[in-house]
Amino acid sequence: MFTITTWGESHGAGVGVVVDGCPPLLPITAEEIQAELDRRRPGQSDIVTPRNEADAVEILSGVFEGKTTGAPIAMLVRNADQRPGAYDEMREKFRPSHADFAYQAKYGARDHRGGGRSSARETIGRVAAGAIAKKLLSAKGVEIRAFVARVQDLAIPETVLSEMPFPSPAQIEASAVRCPHAATAEAMIERIKEVRAAGDSVGGVIRCRVHGVPAGLGEPVFDRLEADLAKAMLSLPASKGFEIGSGFAGTLLKGSEHNDAWISQDGKPRTATNRSGGVQGGISNGEEIFFNVAFKPTATIMLPQKTVDARGAQTELTGRGRHDPCVLPRAVPIVESMAALVLVDHWMRQNAQCGTFQL
Amino acid sequence: MFTITTWGESHGAGVGVVVDGCPPLLPITAEEIQAELDRRRPGQSDIVTPRNEADAVEILSGVFEGKTTGAPIAMLVRNADQRPGAYDEMREKFRPSHADFAYQAKYGARDHRGGGRSSARETIGRVAAGAIAKKLLSAKGVEIRAFVARVQDLAIPETVLSEMPFPSPAQIEASAVRCPHAATAEAMIERIKEVRAAGDSVGGVIRCRVHGVPAGLGEPVFDRLEADLAKAMLSLPASKGFEIGSGFAGTLLKGSEHNDAWISQDGKPRTATNRSGGVQGGISNGEEIFFNVAFKPTATIMLPQKTVDARGAQTELTGRGRHDPCVLPRAVPIVESMAALVLVDHWMRQNAQCGTFQL
Amino acid sequence: MFTITTWGESHGAGVGVVVDGCPPLLPITAEEIQAELDRRRPGQSDIVTPRNEADAVEILSGVFEGKTTGAPIAMLVRNADQRPGAYDEMREKFRPSHADFAYQAKYGARDHRGGGRSSARETIGRVAAGAIAKKLLSAKGVEIRAFVARVQDLAIPETVLSEMPFPSPAQIEASAVRCPHAATAEAMIERIKEVRAAGDSVGGVIRCRVHGVPAGLGEPVFDRLEADLAKAMLSLPASKGFEIGSGFAGTLLKGSEHNDAWISQDGKPRTATNRSGGVQGGISNGEEIFFNVAFKPTATIMLPQKTVDARGAQTELTGRGRHDPCVLPRAVPIVESMAALVLVDHWMRQNAQCGTFQL
Amino acid sequence: MFTITTWGESHGAGVGVVVDGCPPLLPITAEEIQAELDRRRPGQSDIVTPRNEADAVEILSGVFEGKTTGAPIAMLVRNADQRPGAYDEMREKFRPSHADFAYQAKYGARDHRGGGRSSARETIGRVAAGAIAKKLLSAKGVEIRAFVARVQDLAIPETVLSEMPFPSPAQIEASAVRCPHAATAEAMIERIKEVRAAGDSVGGVIRCRVHGVPAGLGEPVFDRLEADLAKAMLSLPASKGFEIGSGFAGTLLKGSEHNDAWISQDGKPRTATNRSGGVQGGISNGEEIFFNVAFKPTATIMLPQKTVDARGAQTELTGRGRHDPCVLPRAVPIVESMAALVLVDHWMRQNAQCGTFQL
């Protein structure tokens, strides 16, 4: 129902998004959207890519006198700091663990400059749309907080993580790495600087927590809430895994240890624990929704690697261009945005089926 | 393009599926579909639920003189061994870690008998459709093998798992638990019998491997191949996590350790390693596709649990009915079916966009 | 949002439908659905096909204790009076103005028995689903009435038609031809009997009127309400045209003659005339929605016709089997059903976008 | 498969479109797209609106080194000649037979300037996308020609129309009214000038003919080729009706007069007549596809009309702004574009289902 269409390449004219199905009468400004884009933009700190992009957004349609009209909202970000020449070598050589070869095999052509369509600049559109979705959810009392829970082996201690109160935006933004646990954040930043200095890269895990989702969102079979969240997260560049609630670790428990007992709180059913992660049978149960997303180490590294060229000959390639040694800090607002888009969509679906005809 | 619509409840008239968009001229018989259904049916071994269901399938449409016509294929399985009376208590009480409460919150009503629509009997339709998808893929040389890689903490040793040749159907079906590593399978079966005797349950991990997928399947942004696989797997009852290729473990590596170098083999690019899991940038790269799916311990256990009733009062519930102490053995064909459905759909999409107009 | 999936062939095991997205808690019985099916079933009068089909419907899922649960509703009608042998000649010869050749060209195969999938028996599923949609709309005060306005050149006089009060079901069902103007109905029935006696057939126009639709349903661009109605009507077998409001005749007027002036009625805007047909800019405006659908004369006639066989040789074919000399009487409930399905879907969409987040 | 997403308002920043699913490797330039836009742009002749818009298109993505890459193609047209002040009166008053009231009822808000989203400027995106679709079809030998067949009561004589050879683009573009019959075109232009001088408007009928479509495109039930064409045409501003082949007039014939006999031509089945309009059972049969679209007289007229204001009070309104006295000349390329979009999409679908797995 709430759909987004993104377009654009890393080194083309720009990138953008069209948001279709947005509820009318939502007050929204370019500044609010810009604030979210600033959280994912390059050059925001000394542990991310130095590509110099303001990523300034223009709202082209769908907003009139400060409010949404219900018409499609088109948003445009022009590319500024393009250095396509930096990619000449990639025209002929497939970068390891990048999409170059797969695109070539699929389409018989590709825009090689900075990965073209496969560049993470595509996610600008998602974050711009996500800013609108987050504002809609906020009007319903729903808050979404993603943060970096682990970089390589440096993790927020499990006991801290499981007991952590719902973090504030300020706590997350307090460190450049967007980890709300200060000691861990410091170590993570150190590690990222080390691997960057070595021309290498690291990955890790982002946790996302969502407060305030009422029971009843999600479809029971194919479009389960966790299925759509999983799809949304695995659609992000560099993501390799998703787990909700107890996830992979929960498979080590017995049913008697794993089940969330129901307790009565003010006459309403609540779960004593939350290994379900806020979703049961594909449908939200009113508890906190939380999930983890695994991001692999950035594929672009400044070290020589074996590869093959377009003619099939063995060759070597050393990364150039400007890249993130670790994508996680900038992926935090993207994860939040995708979660918001999924939730708004499911909220609309739920209201369409169960709220239209009062029977 | 290749879509399925399932319907049915655990203790209603039956369950079924409509397959839309199936290519014409595929030879298919009810027996071939039945063979896959027999792999997921209850009562097939002494470690699964004893519910006595033949799950006999009837093809109602779309097949004429032994071949598909291109019209929708409807398939019906009547429910036989219904004991709705066994579920009277569930009418009033929400089972822990089941969908009962979420359904009630969403719809304001539910068929409480055996979980109604939330029952895993819904997956019969998926397996029936998957049998058709697997046959289509087989005509292209694609084979899909899922198997149980871990039950609770009992796992195929990592070195065995990573070096294991592509298993044959016979190797997988050799044990009731569908683990192709005999020693591990034996321990798994022992464990499942133990927890069943204790009225408890266990979960674990299924690995799925796919051979023969050509480079080029998958869409670059939202409908990445791994995103649609993740959605398909998280849409399964009891699944809590998905990881492709190196997955969560891969986040512990540096980029220089993780990247899949390109090597030239017979003049064609191949990867030296396969941490990508056969997908790069959302698109298959011609290597083996493999992924893991986490399944939680069965929620129904034969032990007393705390719960709440429909009026919000605290109460207790002890599982009844007939249930699997471990869903993984029967989930194996379901995982294969969902993978097949995703692949057929993406193959059609790829051919639609890149094969229709020869430019 | 409210989607239907139909399946089945004329001379296969049966035909059916799955309704997805139905609101929960709607009281519905097989008898209510049967009542609508009886309006389209063969053998209901002496001016329709004598094929002897009770078209008895079985609800297989989605209804529990007399009410919808929100789960998919599967409905099945077994074929009874099959005479596939009557169609042996069609295996080799393409019937003029039928789908035989087009199916063969598309799929490379076809079930030739009675047209297979192209048979109007497919519309059973639409009428069964439409019965549910009509009941939902009825709860909102919306009533849909289709009737036969013209058979060949025999039409309800234009002045009568334009001034006619909203007809009751009884007025429409009063004649076998479902024309609420008695004199015209009598002439129509006479004509249909004449052409049947001559082995020939006739077509005509069905008008559909809808009362009680509130302003605001319909999407502004591609999914305009009239666009979706047009698609729904042109998806019916034998339909060749659609016009809403003033339609083709309105193109003869000047803007000053055609425009619907706004008048204030009880402080609310109403139109003085209704040449818009209740839809403006793709969106309902609260006035009566009305449209016409053209149905061609039945393609099957009992006269010798020139045709070609599967090998491309010229030959001749004389219709056999049991057919309607005029499809319109039985198409009336189908038109109503399709209109109801479109309206329910748009109502849900409207509520999803504009009713979920109260801003 | 080939989807378009349009956005933009009449007096906002601009209008645009994103084309998703375009086949790769199609050579396309902004000039080719501009050529189609120039056929629909304002100010192109003295019988259309004098609004001064160059409608210059910018391709923002999806084209690399002169060819499509398979990635989304975003196109942008900035609005230039905005005179929002000309619409101040419409902020408060609902224009008769316009979408103003319906939008207000649906969304609770609207951009009143020039109709906002309901403006026909929205169709710029469709024509830009249609230019790409037409080029794709052209590579397959498919040509689409729409032209004005009737303005009010001034029609190309029926015998001329039915015998007319497939018109060339030059024949259609020869007159400002885009009617390839010179004498009729002259009268039409005269009439349009007359009604404009009187502050009034007229409508009429556009015929569209398509050559070269192979047999087999279209889906058999809901997505029939004629159903999707009908939807596409009824989604156009001011359209009120659609008929394919013999259409409404065909309902006056008997089956024996109406049926298209099959004849063998070079061993292949062809129809002796073409009352089916190139589609049978929802699927193209290889004959010429032709259909008519009815467009009502332009709602905006320069004469005083009765209306109601936002507070429900009776008032009067006289049209201002710059408008077409007859939309048909500029609607010709729009009709062609929509037909092209439908055909490309169905071609892809056909190839997906019937061309992917060679069985």
Using a CB-CB cut-off of 8 Å, the residues of chain C touching A1 are 1, 349, 352-353
Whether B276 contacts chain A with CB within 8 A: yes
C116 touches chain B (CB under 8 A): yes
What's residue B323's pLDDT? 85
Question: What does the pLDDT look like over C152-197, one tens digit per residue?
Answer: 999 999 999 999 999 999 999 999 999 999 999 999 999 999 999 9
Among A255-259, A261-265, B157-161, C308-312, which stretch is predicted with the lowest mean pLDDT?
Answer: C308-312
Token pair in block for residue C205: 């126009």
Binning pLDDT at 50, 70 and 90, where does residue D81 land?
A: confident
Decide if B69 and C111 are in contact by the 8 Å CB cutoff: yes
Asked if D74 has any chain B CB less than 8 Å from its own CB, the reply is no
pLDDT value at residue B50:
86
What whole-number percentage of chain A has pLDDT above 70? 100
pLDDT, one tens digit for every residue, chain B (359 residues):
999 999 999 999 999 999 999 999 999 999 999 999 999 998 899 999 888 889 999 999 999 999 999 999 999 999 987 776 778 888 889 999 999 999 999 999 899 988 899 999 999 999 999 999 999 999 999 999 999 999 999 999 999 999 999 999 999 999 999 999 999 999 999 999 999 999 999 999 999 999 999 999 999 999 999 999 999 999 999 999 999 999 999 999 999 999 999 999 998 999 999 999 999 999 999 999 999 999 999 999 999 999 999 898 999 998 877 789 999 999 999 999 999 999 999 999 999 999 999 88
- pLDDT at residue D102 above 90? yes
CA distance B50 to chain C (A): 24
Q: Report yes or no: A73 at the D interface, CB cutoff 8 Å.
A: yes
| Pairing mode, strands C67-68 and C73-78 | unpaired
Task: State pLDDT tens for residues A267-309.
Answer: 899 999 999 999 999 999 999 999 999 999 999 999 999 999 9
Residue D319 has a pLDDT of 81
Question: How many whole angstroms separate alpha carbon C229 and alpha carbon B163?
Answer: 58
Q: Do A242 and B230 touch (CB under 8 A)?
A: yes
The pLDDT, as a whole number, for residue D154 is 98
Quick one: tokens of D207? 């015929």
The CA distance from A249 to the nearest CA of chain D, in Å, is 39
CATH number of this structure's domain B3-355, picked from the four choices 3.40.50.300, 3.20.20.60, 3.60.150.10, 3.30.2000.10? 3.60.150.10
pLDDT of residue D84: 65
What local confidence, expressed as pLDDT, does residue D85 receive? 74
Do the Cβ atoms of C5 and B116 come within 8 Å? no
β-strand D239-244 against D289-295: which pairing, if any? antiparallel
Percent of chain D past pLDDT 70, that is, above it, reads 99
The C-alpha atoms of residue B358 and residue A98 are separated, in whole angstroms, by: 27
Contacts of C312 in chain D (CB under 8 A): 264, 267-269
In A, which residues are within 8 Å of D70 by CB distance?
Answer: 106-107, 109
Which among D137, D168, D75, D119 is positioned nearest to D339, based on CA atoms?
Answer: D137
Q: What is the distance in angstroms between the Cα of C159 and the nearest Cα belonging to chain B? A: 45
The residue of A26, A73, A221, A359 whose CB has the most chain C CBs within 10 angstroms, and thus the best one to mutate to test that interface, is A359
The answer to whether D171 faces chain C, any CB pair under 8 Å, is no
Are C205 and D248 a contacting pair at CB < 8 A?
Answer: yes
Flag if D202 and C254 touch (Cβ within 8 Å): yes
Most C CBs within 10 Å, among B4, B6, B60, to test the C interface: B60
Question: Is residue B193 within a helix (H) or strand (E), and if so which, with residue range?
Answer: helix B182-197
Structural contact between residues A55 and A8, judged by C-beta atoms closer than 8 angstroms: no
Give the tens place of pLDDT for each residue, C215-231. 999 999 999 999 999 99
Neighbours of chain D (3+ CB pairs under 8 A): A, B, C
pLDDT reading at A171 higher than 80: yes
- Chain A with chain B: Cβ pairs closer than 8 A: 349
- Whether residue D59 contacts residue A44, with contact meaning beta carbons closer than 8 Å, is answered with no
With a cut of 70, say whether residue D327 has pLDDT above it. Answer: yes
Three-state SS at B161? helix
Closest CA to B211 of B126, B336, B36: B336
Question: Does A27 contact D at CB distance below 8 Å?
Answer: no
* Residues β-bridged to residue D5: D18
Dump pLDDT digits (tens) for D260-316: 999 999 989 999 999 999 999 999 999 999 999 999 999 999 999 999 998 989 999
pLDDT in the model for residue A84: 64
Instruction: Give pLDDT, residue B269.
Output: 95
CB-based contact (8 Å) between A162 and chain C? no
DSSP D93: B
Across the interface, which of B243, B261, B314 has its CB nearest the CB of A305?
B261
Question: Against a cut of 0.95, is the pTM above it?
Answer: yes
Q: Are the Cβ atoms of C258 and D283 closer than 8 angstroms?
A: no
C-alpha distance from B68 to closest chain D C-alpha (Å): 10
Closest alpha carbon within chain A to B281: A99
D322 in contact with C, Cβ within 8 Å: no
Name the closest residue on chain D to residue A4, using Cα atoms. D5
Tokens 């080799």, residue? C92
Interface contact D72, partner C, CB < 8 A: no
Strands (E), chain C: 3-8, 14-20, 57-59, 63-64, 67-68, 73-78, 143-151, 154-155, 204-211, 239-244, 262-265, 268-271, 279-280, 283-284, 289-295, 304-308, 314-318
pLDDT value at position B87? 80
Q: Do A61 and D108 touch (CB under 8 A)?
A: no
Is the minimum CB–CB distance between B347 and chain D shorter than 8 Å?
Answer: yes
Answer yes or no: is pLDDT of C84 > 70. Answer: no
**Residues 6+ positions from C272 with CB-CB distance below 8 Å:** C260, C261, C262, C263, D306
All residues of chain C having their beta carbon less than 8 Å from the beta carbon of residue A355 are 351, 355-356
Render A85-126 in DSSP notation, one character per residue. GGGGGGGTBPPTTSSHHHHHHHHS----GGGGGGSGGGHHHH
Q: Which of residues 196-255 of D touch A (CB under 8 A)?
A: none
On whether any CB of chain D is under 8 Å from the CB of A7, the answer is: yes
- Residues C104, C307: Cα–Cα separation, whole Å: 15
Q: What does the pLDDT look like over C189-200, one tens digit per residue?
A: 999 999 999 999
Nearest-neighbour CA in chain A from B319: distance (Å): 11
User: C140 to chain A: which residues are within 8 Å by CB?
Assistant: 357
- E strands of A153-227, at which residues? 154-155, 204-211
Please name which of B195, B217, B213, B212 lies closest in space to residue B204, comparing C-alpha atoms.
B195
**Inter-chain CB proximity D109 and A67 less than 8 Å:** yes
Give pLDDT tens digits for A117-152.
Answer: 999 999 999 999 999 999 999 999 999 999 999 999
Contacts of C97 in chain D (CB under 8 A): 255, 258-260, 275-276, 280
- C1 CB neighbours in chain A (<8 A) are 1, 349, 352-353
What is the CB neighbour count within 10 angstroms for residue A25? 15
pLDDT number for residue A50: 86
Nearest to C1 among A22, A27, A352 (CB): A352
- Report chain D residues whose CB lies below 8 A from the CB of B341: none
- Say if the Cβ atoms of B355 and D351 lie within 8 Å: yes
Is C74 part of the contact surface with chain A (CB cutoff 8 Å)?
no
Better-scored residue on pLDDT, D90 or A135: A135
**Closest in A70, A351, A359 to C356, CB measured:** A351
Domain boundaries in chain D?
3-355
Buried residues in D130-154 as b, exposed as e (16+ CB within 10 A): bbbbbbbbeeeebbbbbbbbbbbeb
**For chain C, which chains pass the contact test of at least 3 CB pairs under 8 Å?**
A, B, D
Amino acid identity for residue D7 in this structure = W
For residue B99, give the nearest of A153, A201, A280 by CB distance. A280
State the average pLDDT for chain C: 95
Whether residue C66 lies within 8 A of chain B, CB to CB, comes out as no
